[in-house]
C-alpha cells in the first residue's frame, strides 16, 4: 500500500446512474436500467483502486458518472474537496483538468485526422493560455514522459502501434496535470507483450506525479499487479471492497470467490488439480434486478434471506467491506475507519 | 476410427502470401503440425504472427486474391484439402471440420433464427429430416448449456447475450460431430466466469466425442488448462512446439520465455515491475532470410541475421511429436 494515512482524494457516496427505458408507441418511461445502483467508496491520494466484475456490471458507467461524463441520477462524487455531481457547467469546466480518463480502445478515441502533437496539444489550447512555443515545449515534455520519440510529433494515429497509440492517449490525459485518472480497460485492446509496457508506464507516472487511479479491468492478474485495493462489482453494486492481498488470498463474497476461481492460471499442474466454482446462468438484466441480493439467482450459497432483502456493504474485518448476508451477523468494527467510511457503511443498510 | 495413432490432421510446409498494393505479405511460412484424435493443440503467439491465417488457409476460408496458399499439404485423413474443389471443401467444413470464430456476430446470420442455422448442416450433411433436425438443434443448445433451449432455439442471434451467442456458435460447429474443431480465440471476448463455463464444456464434449481441437488464444492461462501440446508462432513461423508441461517448465525459444515472463499471475510472487519485450514484430514483406525474432532477442548473435533457423527436435522423437525449437542460440548455447 502506498500510503495508508494519505487523505481521501475521491469520495463517492450513494452514487446512482440510471438510464431510462422508454417503450410503446407513446415512448412512455417504463423503467430504468440501474447501471450503477447506490455505490459508495473512497480513494486515497496516490492510491490505485482496481475495479473488476463481469461485462455489463456497470464499471464504465461508474467511471464516467464519477467524472460527470454522465449526469448522475443521485449521490455525491467529491473529488479534491468539490462535489462534481453538483457543479455548474462553468465550475465543471474549470474542474475538468484535475480529472481525466484513459479509454479502452486507443484507436477509437483518437481523431484519425489530427497529428500526434495536435492531439496532445488540444486540451492545452482549450484550458490554458500558453503561447504556441510554450505549448510545443509542453507537448515535447509529455511525449518524453510517456516514451514517445519527439520525431513522431507530426505523425497520425494510424502510423502507430497499439501500445504507442495508448501512450498518446495517456500523454493527452496528463497534459493538464490531473490529480485523478480513470483508466477504463486501458490494456484490453493490446497484445500481452505491450500490456506490460503500458502498465509499467502508468506505475512510473504515478510514482513521479503522485497520481490517483481508478483502474477498471477484466484482467484479475493485472489488477493484482497494479491495484492497492480492489472493488468487485456485480450488477450495478459493489459486493466486496478489500485490500489487494486480502482479496486474492481469501475472497469473502461468494461472487468474488467464483470470479477468482475462474481465472486461468498459466500453470498446467494447478489447472489440472484446482477446482473452479462454475456459475450457472447469465447476468440478470440491470433493468429488472432480483428483489433481494443481486447475486441471489446465481449464488452457490444462497439462502432464504437473500431472496427478499438486499445486503448492505458493511465492514466485516479491518479494511474489508462485503455486501452479503453470510457476513451480516458480524457487527462492523466501530471507529476503525474515518467518519466518512462509517457513514457509508450504513448507507445501504437503510434501504432495506 | 481404426488407427488411433494416425493423425486426424497433418499439415506440412503450409505457406500463405497476401498480395497487397504495397507488395507481398508473407503471413505464413512453411508451417507444419499434426493432431491425433482427441488431442488439443494450443496455438499462441504475438498479434499478427499468422495464427488465424494459418487456420483459415487449411480449410479454404481466405479470399483468393488477395490471399494465395503458395505451398503445402493439408491431409485430413487421407485427403489433401488443398487439392479439393471448392464444393467438396465446403462439405468438409460443414461435416468434418467445425470452426468457431472470435467474433460470433460475423458468422451468425442475423436474419435467420438460431434453429434455422443449426438445422441447415444437419439436413445437408447428416441426412436428418426437418423434424429430426429441429429436435436435434434443441439438444445441441442444451448441450452447450443454454437454459430454456426449446424456446430460445426460435430466437434470432441479437436476442442472445454475447456469451450465449458464443455458445450458439459452438453448437453449430459441433452439430455434425466433426473430427476436428478449430476455435479461434473462442473465449477472449467473454468474462472469466463465462469463459470457465465454455472451457469446461469443450473439455467435456471433447472427451465424449473424441474430436481433436485446435485452440488459438492469447491467454496462457487457458492454454495451461486445456492444451495437450502447444505451438508457439512468431513472424509467420512455428518457433517452438512442445507438450504443455514442457512449454511452461522448460521453454527454449527466447520469445516463448519472454512471453511467459510478461504475464502476471494471481497466486505467484507479485513482481514490483512487469518485464516487457522491447521492440516491434517484423513486417514480413518477404520470405524470411533471418530469424524473425532476432531484432528483439536478448541472445541475438551474427548467425541469427545470416540464416533463418529451422525447427530442431530436442529429444529423439520425430519433429512435431516431442519438443522442438527453431533457434540458433538454443542450438549452440541453450538455457541451462
Ligand atoms: N448510454 C446507455 N444507455 C442505456 N444503457 C446503458 C448505457 N450505457 C450502459 N448501459 C447499460 O448499463 C449497464 C452497464 O454498462 P457498462 O458499460 O457500465 O458495463 P461494464 O461493466 O463497463 O461492461 P464491460 O466490461 O463490457 O465494459 C449495461 O447493462 C449496459 O447495457
Ligand atoms: N487480407 C489481408 N491482407 C493483407 N495482409 C493480411 C490480411 N489478413 C491478414 N494479413 C496479415 O497477415 C499476418 C498474419 O495475420 P493473422 O490474422 O494470422 O495474425 P494472428 O496471429 O491471428 O493475430 P491476432 O492474434 O491479432 O489475431 C498479419 O501481419 C496481417 O497483417
Ligand atoms: Mg466497460
Ligand atoms: Mg487472429
Write the CATH number for B80.
3.40.50.300
Are residues B203 and B157 located together in one domain of the fold? Answer: no
Distance B294 CA to ligand 2 centre (A): 20
Which of A56, A234, A239 should be mutated for ligand 1, with most atoms under 8 A from CB? A56
CATH 3.50.50.60 fits domain A8-260: no
A345 pLDDT higher than 80: no
User: What is the predicted pLDDT for the residue at A120?
Assistant: 93
Contact A191 B46 (CB under 8 A): yes
Q: Identify whether the C-beta of residue B185 lies closer than 8 Å to the C-beta of residue B42.
A: no
Final residue of a domain: which of B159, B177, B195? B177
Q: Which helix (H) or strand (E) holds B153?
A: none
Distance A34 CA to ligand 1 centre (A): 10
Q: Give chain A positions within 8 Å (CB) of B248.
A: 266-268
Task: Give the pLDDT confidence of A48-81 residue by residue, as tens digits.
Answer: 999 999 888 899 999 999 999 999 999 999 999 9
Q: Give chain A positions within 8 Å (CB) of B159.
A: none
Inform me whether the C-beta atom of residue B200 falls under 8 Å from chain A C-beta atoms.
yes
A307 pLDDT higher than 90: yes
The HSE-up count of residue A153 (CA atoms within 13 Å, CB side) is: 14
- Angle subtended at Cα A275 by Cα A273 and Cα A276, rounded to the nearest 5 degrees: 135
Q: Is residue B1 part of a domain?
A: no
The three cell numbers locating residue A240? 466486496
The domain total for chain B is 2
Final residue of a domain: which of B177, B205, B237? B177
Q: Which long-range contacts (CB under 8 A, 24 or more apart) does A194-197 make?
A: A194/A161, A194/A162, A194/A163, A194/A166, A195/A219, A195/A222, A195/B262, A196/B262, A196/B274, A196/B275, A196/B276, A197/A163, A197/B276
Q: How many other β-carbons are positioned within 10 Å of the β-carbon of residue B77?
A: 14
The HSE-up count of residue B5 (CA atoms within 13 Å, CB side) is: 1
Task: Give the pLDDT confidence of A1-37 residue by residue, as tens digits.
Answer: 556 678 899 999 999 999 988 877 778 888 889 999 9
User: What is the predicted pLDDT for the residue at B70?
Assistant: 92
- CA distances in angstroms from B138 to A252, B98, B127, B131, B242, listed in the order given: 38, 19, 17, 11, 39
Q: Is residue B2 part of a domain?
A: no
Distance B169 CA to ligand 3 centre (A): 24
Indicate the average pLDDT of chain A. 86
Q: Is the minimum distance from the CB of B235 to ligand 2 under 6 angstroms?
A: no
Q: Identify whether the C-beta of residue A262 lies closer than 8 Å to the C-beta of residue B225.
A: no
User: What is the chain A residue with the closest CA to B165?
Assistant: A282
Instruction: Provide CB contacts within 8 A for A34, sequence distance 6+.
Output: A16, A18, A236, A286, A287, A289
A336 pLDDT higher than 50: no
Q: How many other β-carbons are positioned within 10 Å of the β-carbon of residue A86?
A: 13
User: What is the predicted pLDDT for the residue at B200?
Assistant: 82
β-bridge pairing B324-325 and B312-313? antiparallel
Nearest-angstrom CA–CA distance, A122 and A114: 10
Q: Is residue B194 part of a domain?
A: yes
Closest atom of ligand 1 to A218 CA is 25
Are residues B17 and B157 located together in one domain of the fold? Answer: no
Nearest to A256 by CA among A115, A87, A57, A82: A57
User: What is the predicted pLDDT for the residue at B104?
Assistant: 63
Among the partner residues B244, B275, B280, nearest to A196 by beta-carbon distance: B275
* Domain containing residue B197: 7-96+178-332
Instruction: State the alpha helices, DSSP H only, in chain A.
Output: 59-66, 89-95, 106-109, 116-127, 132-146, 162-174, 192-209, 220-226, 244-249, 254-262, 268-273, 304-308, 339-347
Are residues B70 and B138 located together in one domain of the fold? Answer: no
Q: Is residue B20 part of a domain?
A: yes
Q: Give chain A positions within 8 Å (CB) of B220.
A: 192, 266
ipTM of the complex: 0.78
A299 pLDDT higher than 90: yes
A337 pLDDT higher than 60: no
Q: Is residue B117 part of a domain?
A: yes
Nearest-angstrom CA–CA distance, B152 and B114: 8
Are residues B251 and B328 located together in one domain of the fold? Answer: yes
Nearest-angstrom CA–CA distance, B101 and B94: 14
Burial A250-262 (b: 16+ CB within 10 A, else e): ebbbbbbbbbbbb
Task: Give the pLDDT confidence of A208-223 residue by residue, as tens digits.
Answer: 999 999 999 988 999 9
3 state DSSP class of B99: strand
Query: Which residue, by CA, sits nearest to atom 1 of ligand 1?
Result: A19
β-bridge pairing B229-234 and B40-45? parallel
Which of A23, A35, A183, A286 should be mutated for ligand 1, with most atoms under 8 A from CB? A35
Q: Which helix (H) or strand (E) holds B189?
A: none
Q: Which residues of chain B have pLDDT under 50?
A: 1-2
Instruction: Provide CB contacts within 8 A for A239, sequence distance 6+.
Output: A232, A233, A253, A255, A256, A294, A295, A313, A322, A323, A324
Are residues B74 and B197 located together in one domain of the fold? Answer: yes
Among the partner residues A55, A199, A248, nearest to B274 by beta-carbon distance: A199
Distance B46 CA to ligand 4 centre (A): 9
The three cell numbers locating residue B106? 460475423
Q: Which helix (H) or strand (E) holds B309?
A: none
Q: Identify whether the C-beta of residue B166 lies closer than 8 Å to the C-beta of residue B186.
A: yes
Give which of A185, A282, A295 to mutate to test B binding, by max B Cβ within 10 Å. A282
A284 pLDDT higher than 90: no
User: What is the predicted pLDDT for the residue at B299?
Assistant: 93
Contact B224 A270 (CB under 8 A): yes
Q: Residue ranges per domain, chain A? A: 8-260, 285-347
The 3-state DSSP composition of chain A as helix, strand, coil percent (nearest 5) reads: 40, 25, 40
Q: How many other β-carbons are positioned within 10 Å of the β-carbon of residue A201?
A: 19
Q: Identify whether the C-beta of residue A79 lies closer than 8 Å to the C-beta of residue A10.
A: yes
Q: Is the minimum distance from the CB of A157 to ligand 1 under 6 angstroms?
A: no
- Of A144 and B253, the structure prediction assigns the larger pLDDT to B253
Are residues B25 and B143 located together in one domain of the fold? Answer: no
Final residue of a domain: which of B151, B177, B203? B177
The 3-state DSSP composition of chain B as helix, strand, coil percent (nearest 5) reads: 35, 25, 40
Q: Is the minimum distance from the CB of A35 to ligand 1 under 6 angstroms?
A: yes
Q: Is residue B25 part of a domain?
A: yes
Q: Identify whether the C-beta of residue A254 lies closer than 8 Å to the C-beta of residue A280.
A: no
Q: Identify whether the C-beta of residue B134 lies closer than 8 Å to the C-beta of residue B112.
A: no
Task: Give the pLDDT confidence of A246-281 residue by residue, as tens digits.
Answer: 999 999 999 999 999 988 888 888 888 878 888 877
Are residues B173 and B236 located together in one domain of the fold? Answer: no
Q: Is residue B142 part of a domain?
A: yes
Closest atom of ligand 2 to B49 CA is 21
Judged by phi (left if over 0) then psi (alpha if -120 to 50, else beta), residue A281 lies in left
Report helix angle A132-146 to A192-209, nearest 10: 120
Contact B263 A259 (CB under 8 A): no
- CA distances in angstroms from A252 to A247, A263, A326, A345, listed in the order given: 7, 16, 9, 17
Task: Give the pLDDT confidence of A153-194 residue by residue, as tens digits.
Answer: 888 887 777 778 888 988 998 999 899 999 998 887 777 777
Inform me whether the C-beta atom of residue B276 falls under 8 Å from chain A C-beta atoms.
yes
Are residues B68 and B210 located together in one domain of the fold? Answer: yes
Q: Is the minimum distance from the CB of B45 to ligand 2 under 6 angstroms?
A: yes
Are residues B145 and B254 located together in one domain of the fold? Answer: no
A350 pLDDT higher than 60: no
Are residues B90 and B114 located together in one domain of the fold? Answer: no
Q: Is residue B306 part of a domain?
A: yes
Are residues B55 and B186 located together in one domain of the fold? Answer: yes
Are residues B227 and B310 located together in one domain of the fold? Answer: yes
Q: Identify whether the C-beta of residue B300 lies closer than 8 Å to the C-beta of residue B327.
A: no
Instruction: Provide CB contacts within 8 A for A14, sequence distance 6+.
Output: A38, A39, A40, A74, A75, A76, A344, A347
User: What is the predicted pLDDT for the residue at A352?
Assistant: 32
Amino acid at each position: 500500500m502506498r500510503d495508508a494515512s494519505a487523505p481521501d482524494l475521491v469520495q463517492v457516496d450513494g452514487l446512482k446512474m440510471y438510464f431510462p427505458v422508454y417503450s410503446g408507441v407513446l415512448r412512455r418511461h417504463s423503467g430504468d436500467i440501474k447501471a450503477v445502483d447506490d455505490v459508495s467508496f473512497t480513494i486515497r491520494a496516490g492510491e490505485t483502486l482496481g475495479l473488476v466484475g463481469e461485462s455489463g456490471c456497470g464499471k464504465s458507467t461508474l467511471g464516467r458518472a464519477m467524472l460527470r461524463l454522465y449526469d448522475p441520477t443521485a449521490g455525491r462524487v467529491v473529488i479534491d474537496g468539490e462535489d462534481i455531481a453538483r457543479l455548474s457547467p462553468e465550475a465543471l469546466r474549470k474542474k475538468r483538468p484535475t480529472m481525466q480518463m484513459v479509454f479502452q480502445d486507443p484507436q477509437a478515441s483518437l481523431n484519425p485526422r489530427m497529428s500526434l502533437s495536435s492531439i496532445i496539444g488540444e486540451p492545452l489550447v482549450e484550458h490554458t493560455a500558453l503561447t504556441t512555443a510554450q505549448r510545443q515545449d509542453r507537448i515535447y515534455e509529455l511525449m518524453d514522459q510517456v516514451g514517445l520519440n519527439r520525431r513522431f510529433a507530426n505523425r497520425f494515429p494510424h502510423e502507430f502501434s497499439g501500445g504507442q497509440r495508448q501512450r498518446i492517449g495517456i500523454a493527452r490525459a496528463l497534459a493538464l496535470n490531473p490529480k485523478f485518472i480513470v483508466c477504463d480497460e486501458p490494456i484490453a485492446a493490446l497484445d500481452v507483450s505491450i500490456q506490460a509496457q503500458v502498465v509499467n508506464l502508468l506505475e512510473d507516472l504515478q510514482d513521479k506525479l503522485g497520481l490517483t487511479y481508478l483502474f477498471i479491468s477484466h484482467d484479475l492478474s493485472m489488477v493484482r499487479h497494479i491495484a492497492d485495493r480492489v472493488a468487485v462489482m456485480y450488477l450495478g453494486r459493489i459486493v466486496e471492497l478489500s485490500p489487494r492481498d486480502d482479496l486474492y488470498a481469501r475472497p469473502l463474497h461468494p461472487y468474488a470467490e467464483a470470479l477468482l476461481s475462474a481465472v486461468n492460471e498459466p500453470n498446467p499442474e494447478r489447472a489440472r488439480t484446482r477446482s473452479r466454482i462454475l456459475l450457472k446462468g447469465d447476468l440478470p438484466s440491470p433493468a429488472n434486478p432480483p428483489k433481494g441480493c443481486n447475486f441471489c439467482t446465481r449464488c452457490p450459497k444462497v439462502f432464504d434471506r437473500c431472496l427478499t432483502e438486499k445486503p448492505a456493504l458493511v465492514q466485516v474485518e479491518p479494511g474489508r467491506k462485503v455486501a452479503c448476508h453470510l457476513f451480516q451477523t458480524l457487527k462492523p468494527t466501530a471507529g476503525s475507519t474515518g467518519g466518512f467510511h462509517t457513514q457509508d457503511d450504513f448507507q445501504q443498510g437503510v434501504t432495506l | 476410427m481404426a488407427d488411433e495413432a494416425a493423425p486426424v490432421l497433418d499439415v506440412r510446409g503450409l505457406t500463405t502470401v497476401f498480395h497487397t498494393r504495397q507488395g507481398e505479405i508473407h503471413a505464413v511460412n512453411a508451417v507444419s503440425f499434426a493432431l491425433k484424435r482427441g488431442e488439443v493443440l494450443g496455438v499462441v503467439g504475438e498479434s499478427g504472427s499468422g495464427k488465424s491465417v494459418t487456420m483459415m488457409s487449411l480449410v479454404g476460408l481466405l479470399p483468393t486474391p488477395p490471399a494465395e496458399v503458395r505451398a503445402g499439404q493439408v491431409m485430413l485423413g487421407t485427403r489433401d484439402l488443398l487439392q479439393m474443389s471448392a464444393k467438396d471443401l465446403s462439405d468438409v467444413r460443414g461435416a468434418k471440420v467445425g470452426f468457431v470464430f472470435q467474433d460470433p456476430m460475423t458468422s451468425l446470420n442475423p436474419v435467420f433464427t438460431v434453429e434455422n442455422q443449426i438445422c441447415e448442416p444437419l439436413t445437408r450433411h447428416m441426412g436428418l429430416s426437418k423434424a429430426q433436425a429441429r429436435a436435434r438443434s434443441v439438444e445441441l443448445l442444451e448441450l452447450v448449456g443454454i437454459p430454456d433451449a426449446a424456446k430460445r432455439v426460435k430466437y434470432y442471434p441479437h436476442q442472445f447475450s454475447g456469451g450465449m451467442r458464443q455458445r450458439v456458435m459452438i453448437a453449430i460447429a459441433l452439430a455434425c460431430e466433426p473430427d476436428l474443431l478449430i476455435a479461434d480465440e473462442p473465449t477472449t471476448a467473454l468474462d472469466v466466469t463465462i469463459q470457465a463455463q465454455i472451457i469446461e464444456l469443450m473439455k467435456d464434449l471433447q472427451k465424449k466425442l473424441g474430436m481433436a481441437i485446435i485452440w488459438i488464444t492469447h491467454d496462457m492461462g487457458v492454454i495451461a488448462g486445456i492444451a495437450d501440446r502447444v505451438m508457439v508462432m512468431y513472424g509467420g513461423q512455428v518457433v517452438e512446439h512442445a507438450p504443455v508441461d514442457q512449454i511452461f517448465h522448460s521453454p527454449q525459444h527466447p520469445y516463448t520465455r519472454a512471453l511467459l515472463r510478461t504475464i502476471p499471475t494471481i497466486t505467484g510472487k507479485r513482481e514490483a515491475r512487469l518485464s516487457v519485450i522491447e521492440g516491434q514484430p517484423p513486417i514480413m514483406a518477404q520470405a524470411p532470410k533471418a530469424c524473425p525474432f532476432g531484432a528483439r532477442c536478448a541472445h541475438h548473435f551474427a548467425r541469427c541475421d545470416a540464416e533463418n533457423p529451422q525447427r530442431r527436435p530436442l529429444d529423439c522423437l520425430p519433429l512435431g511429436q516431442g519438443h522442438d525449437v527453431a533457434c540458433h542460440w538454443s542450438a549452440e548455447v541453450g538455457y541451462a
